[in-house]
Amino acid sequence: MWEDFESCVRAVQSKDARFDGWFFTGVHTTGIYCRPSCPAVPPKPQNMDFYPSAAAAQQAGFRACKRCRPDASPGSPEWNHRADAVGRAMRMIADGVVDRDGVPGLAHRLGYSVRQVERMLRAELGAGPLALARAQRAQTARLLIETSALPMSDITYAAGFASIRTFNDTVREVFALSPTELRQRATARRTPEPAPGELALRLPFRAPLFPDNLFGHLAATAVPGVEEWRDGAYRRTMRLPHGHGVVTLRPGVEHIGCQLALTDMRDLAGAISRCRWLLDLDADPVAVDELLSRDETLAPLVRKAPGRRVPRTVDPAEFAVRAVLGQQVSTAAARTHAARLVTAHGTPITDPSGGLTHLFPDAASLSELDPETLAMPASRRRTLLSLVSALAEGDLDLEVGSDWNRAREQLTALPGFGPWTVESIAMRGLGDPDAFIPGDLGVKVAAEQLGLPFTPAALTAYSTAWRPWRAYAVQYLWATCDHPINTLPA
């Protein structure tokens, strides 16, 4: 959109928050860059330039606006649904791959040369992978400065900077304030202090957002010890590159309240990215609902509760294991099977603020699994063991930024992986917005009740009109059923 000057000008002049994250406005007269909904008086069109990313605006010499805080706007929905190399690269950068493995590591995962990755990102985003990662480090640094009492030297390395000098220079360049000045400004507006060792953040999203099915699904399918619903918030443990964390996510009208307790602050940016991915916060609900409303059967469901999101996961491999455990059994039985795996093979943790006890076991831990201890049919045991073996040996790529179609092919090649399991993983584990599960019992019942074709083949053919948002259509179909996944817990 950033290349359409007139459309961008209209969005800025109307202060339209729907376009936050789609593009950024550089203002020549002030030297700042803003989000489209900035509350300041809009500049004259001749004084505006538009950029596809915060990193591109920073490279052009603009600093972040202190009023609208453009670096904290929702992420571009482009990276939420694109399966090409640029979309995959952006998801990897958000997860911290460049900070951990450098640009060569990013290029290796994508299967391209470093030069080709640089070229693709510059063509679409106006900045290379290092500049994009630098912009993310600056945002992480600002969060730590404003929401914690950590010394600046600790923040430097937690945010991914190589030296205190680089940290100071970057913060001054991006925010036109020193780290100390940023902290002083934040003191006046700081929310109540979180518990010791925790960070309190706000996760923005594009309105509308309907939280009932999102949090209801996560709570109804929660694995005891790994997830819980407590005091009006969803809580879970997370396995992260440098340690582990516990996140508390609370639905709000204008943002999602987020409290993070991390064993290593270097995982902050990745943890935030995974929380946003879990709740599908970078989706474009206006575009989704507009297309689905064209179907006269879905239109009343969309009008009743617009803004449904797809409940995802913080760990695709974990979800794949849970999808196998949930084959042909009830939600309660799937939770029971998962809880037994967690107790036997999960990593114990302490949770002073609640009842979380373990990290979900990784593939290496599950490779030691004794199949005779599993209270399930022999065929499903073989399916689970084949999945664990493929994950442990690296034959199956379900990491952040993986190729969705290639992952489908790899999953289908495993014994016991039919369309329901593969598409469930694609939808909730990998985040493909067009994943569709016509064979799901809830989908079939809803389709029959609504007068839609309800055999898998017929419903798949009918659903082509819902592309590329069929995963969201599934959420609206599920909403017609009387099931706990559709209700925000008390």
Q: Cα(224)–Cα(240) distance, rounded to whole angstroms? A: 20
Tens digit of each residue's pLDDT (9 = 90 or more) over 81-103: 677 888 899 889 888 899 889 99
Residue 384 has pLDDT above 60, yes or no: yes
From 69-73, 151-155, 482-486, the region with the lowest mean pLDDT: 69-73
Confidence band for 373, pLDDT divided at 50, 70 and 90: confident
- Global pTM reads 0.88
Task: Please compute the mean of the pLDDT values over residues 344-358 and round it to a whole number.
Answer: 94
The ranges of the chain annotated as CATH 1.10.10.60 are: 85-189
Length of the chain: 490
Q: Cα(144)–Cα(139) distance, rounded to whole angstroms? A: 9
| Contacts by residues 30-34 (CB-CB < 8 Å, ≥ 24 positions apart) | 31/61, 31/62, 31/63, 32/62, 32/63, 32/64, 32/65, 32/176, 33/57, 33/58, 33/62, 33/63, 33/64, 33/65, 33/70, 34/65, 34/67, 34/68, 34/70
| pLDDT at residue 189 in the model | 57
Q: Cα(74)–Cα(281) distance, rounded to whole angstroms? A: 7
| pLDDT at residue 320 in the model | 97
**Could you write out the DSSP letters of every residue in 186-220?**
HHHHPPSP-STTEEEEEEE-PSP-BHHHHHHHHHH
Quick one: which H or E segment has residue 136?
Answer: helix 129-147
Whether the upstream peptide bond of residue 377 has omega within 30° of 0, thus cis, is no
Pick the closest to residue 26 from 59, 71, 57, 1 (CA basis). 57
Beta bridge partners of 262: 245
Q: Cα(476)–Cα(214) distance, rounded to whole angstroms? A: 12
Q: Are 36 and 25 in contact, with CB atoms under 8 Å apart?
A: yes
Round the average pLDDT of the chain to a whole number and report it.
91
From 13-17, 41-45, 80-84, the region with the lowest mean pLDDT: 80-84
Residue type, 445: V
| pLDDT at residue 2 in the model | 76
Q: Which residues are catalytic?
A: 34, 440
Neighbours of 383 (CB within 10 A): 21
| pLDDT at residue 74 in the model | 76
Confidence band for 427, pLDDT divided at 50, 70 and 90: very high
**Could you write out the DSSP letters of every residue in 336-398?**
HHHHHHHHHHSEE---TTSS--EEPP-HHHHTT--GGG--S-HHHHHHHHHHHHHHHTT-S--
Q: Which of 117-126, 213-222, 262-271 has the largest mean confidence?
A: 213-222
Tens digit of each residue's pLDDT (9 = 90 or more) over 92-148: 988 889 988 999 999 999 999 999 999 999 988 889 999 999 998 998 888 888 878
Q: Which CATH code, of 3.30.390.10, 3.30.300.20, 3.90.420.10, 3.40.10.10, is assigned to 5-72?
A: 3.40.10.10
The ranges of the chain annotated as CATH 3.30.310.20 are: 198-277
* Percent of the residues in the chain that have a pLDDT greater than 70, as a whole number: 97
Neighbours of 374 (CB within 10 A): 17
Tens digit of each residue's pLDDT (9 = 90 or more) over 458-473: 999 999 999 999 999 9
Tens digit of each residue's pLDDT (9 = 90 or more) over 186-200: 775 555 555 656 888
| pLDDT at residue 49 in the model | 95
Task: Please compute the mean of the pLDDT values over residues 333-351 and round it to a whole number.
Answer: 94
Q: Which CATH code, of 1.10.10.60, 3.10.20.740, 1.10.3430.10, 3.40.50.720, is assigned to 85-189?
A: 1.10.10.60
The residue that leads in pLDDT, 314 or 200, is 314
Domain 198-277: which CATH class? alpha beta
| pLDDT at residue 160 in the model | 86
The ranges of the chain annotated as CATH 3.40.10.10 are: 5-72
Residue 356 has pLDDT above 90, yes or no: yes
